[in-house]
Amino acid sequence: MTLETIQPLRKWNPKEEVLTFIHIGKSSGTSFYSALLKNKVNGCPVKCVQSIAGLKAAKTRLACPHMKPVICLKHFDWTMVTEGEQNGYKMAPLILFREPVTRAVSHFYFRKTLQVSIGEKMRDQTLGEYLADTESMLETRQIWFDGAVCVSKKNF
């Protein structure tokens, strides 16, 4: 599947399609994921798996014949959809988008709260100082770059 073949919003068929939630950081994905796990589809609890191998294994353990498992990871890219199709699954990708500037600003403030940012220059900078500091922005480009292109940094 390529971006050119993506169809407009349509209803998901849980009996035939594997819902594949592609989570872009700071785009409400965690809230969506939590809500998804708390609900039922066709009267069945949602079973999330983390990989195509997990999908194959879950198929034999599903207690509910009315739906396929859902692939939901914290963050991954389109390769999961391609891999699923190559393994004979009909994939139904779901992506939540957010306006990229507000997403990057949110990620900037969120990163400051994480252990990983200890020792990074940006942790002690205001947003204005950070945006004026090319070196700091390049050191922490995952704040703004990943969401801008919607793929994981492993592809670069």
Residue 59, pLDDT score: 64
Residue 120, pLDDT score: 94
Strands 40-41 and 44-45: antiparallel
- For the chain of 156 residues, list the mean pLDDT of each consecutive stretch of 10: 60 84 77 80 77 76 67 71 90 82 89 93 96 94 65 41
Question: In terms of Cα–Cα distance, which of 64, 78, 86 is closest to 24?
Answer: 78
Q: Quick check: 66 and 44 in contact, CB under 8 A? A: yes
Question: In terms of Cα–Cα distance, which of 81, 78, 58 is closest to 69?
Answer: 58
Residue 146, pLDDT score: 60
Residue 149, pLDDT score: 44
The DSSP output letter for 14 is T
Q: How far apart are CA 61 and CA 55, in angstroms?
A: 10
Residue 1, pLDDT score: 47
Residue 60, pLDDT score: 56
